[in-house]
Amino acid sequence: MKLKIAVLPGDGIGPEVTNESIKVLNCIAKKFNHEVEMNEGLVGAIAIDHHNNPYPDETHNLCLESDAILFGAIGDPKYDNDPKAKIRPEQGLLEMRKKLGLYANLRPTLVFDSLLHMSPIKEERITGTDILFVRELTGGIYFGERGRKNNDNYAFDTCQYTRDEIIRIAKMGFEYAQKRSKKLCCVDKANILETSRLWRETVQGMEKDYPDVTVSYEFVDAVAMRLIQWPSSYDVLITSNLFGDILTDEASVISGSMGLMPSASVGSNNALYEPIHGSYPQATGKKIANPIASILSLSMMLEHTYNLKDESNLINEAVESSLLSGYKTPDLISKDEKACSTDEVGDYIVKFILDN
């Protein structure tokens, strides 16, 4: 099979972890006789530096011409620390999602048996956790009207949703629930917010079309608590952009490290795959960044975009083996363990794939 992939390493540790995914992809292509065409583009702070635009047209066209996008991370302290900056790296990510129509963010949260002890939550509470968040990605408060008034002393951000946007994301949630344990939770704040009432009303109206799925409705603050108390009680959750952003970052610590969790942003014609962690500028160039989230994002790409399940499963097995064998970056080690570098972890995974 021919795979045409846009590679957007981005900022900070993005290029480092993406490079390990590229090594794994080349290894998979060699083993399974695939032809891979990769083309690299700029996004984020590095794109601002070169084009004064965090998502230049060249990058957009590259994404449109590709089957899928492998993305690293966005962000740079020189913009984070300047509240008056007119152009920010994160604007590139929002624009990319909007222009490419990437309306749904899929974020799995699962635990690795070999790392249960690394979680800040008791093992008996997290054992068996396997959650899929389906987050709406192109609407809500991140894309609503915003601004300043009264000489910059008053600020506002508007949250808005259409019924069609909710139907689109809910349909995806229902369909994933049907493939899993047939449980779906709609997360909202319907006791306060009008947009949440529209969410709940819309999802309730869709229940009859999916009679095999049991649907629950929970307020976002209750879910935030239960994710820590009993995360294994959840399966598929659907929610709005802002709530999904916060809850998925909270859920990522269940596994013990954000460096383990992959994600996909999907639309009607394209999909972007990325680790959920940020650019982690403090670690840039130190070879301590965990590449597993990026490598598992590649695994998601092979399964979801190309339907290459054997290739995806082999990558997942390699990752599990690397953890069991002690090939772990500093974010995953106990006091008496030796840390491996970013490329050492990637090299182990490549070797495992070649040997199996």
* SS3 of residue 186 by DSSP: strand
DSSP state for residue 136 in the 8-state scheme: E
Which residue in 103, 245, 280, 348 is the catalytic one?
Answer: 245
Residues shown for the chain: 356
Mind giving me the DSSP string for 184-202?
A: EEEEE-TTT-HHHHHHHHH
The reply to whether 249 belongs to the active site is: yes
Q: How many CB atoms lie within 10 A of CB 353?
A: 21
Clarify whether 245 is annotated catalytic: yes
Helices and strands per DSSP (H, E), number in the chain: 13, 12
Task: Provide the pairing of β-strand 154-157 with 236-239.
Answer: unpaired
Contacts of 122 (CB under 8 A, 6+ apart): none
Annotated catalytic residue, options 67, 80, 235, 249 = 249
Catalytic residue among 11, 189, 273, 348: 189
Of 57, 82, 157, 221, the catalytic one is 221
**CA end-to-end span of the chain, whole Å?**
20
Exposed/middle/buried for 336, CB within 10 Å: 0-12, 13-18, 19+? exposed
Q: Considering 55, 79, 103, 142, which one is annotated as catalytic?
A: 142
- Tell me whether residue 209 is one of the annotated catalytic residues: no
Indicate which residues carry an active-site annotation: 142, 189, 221, 245, 249
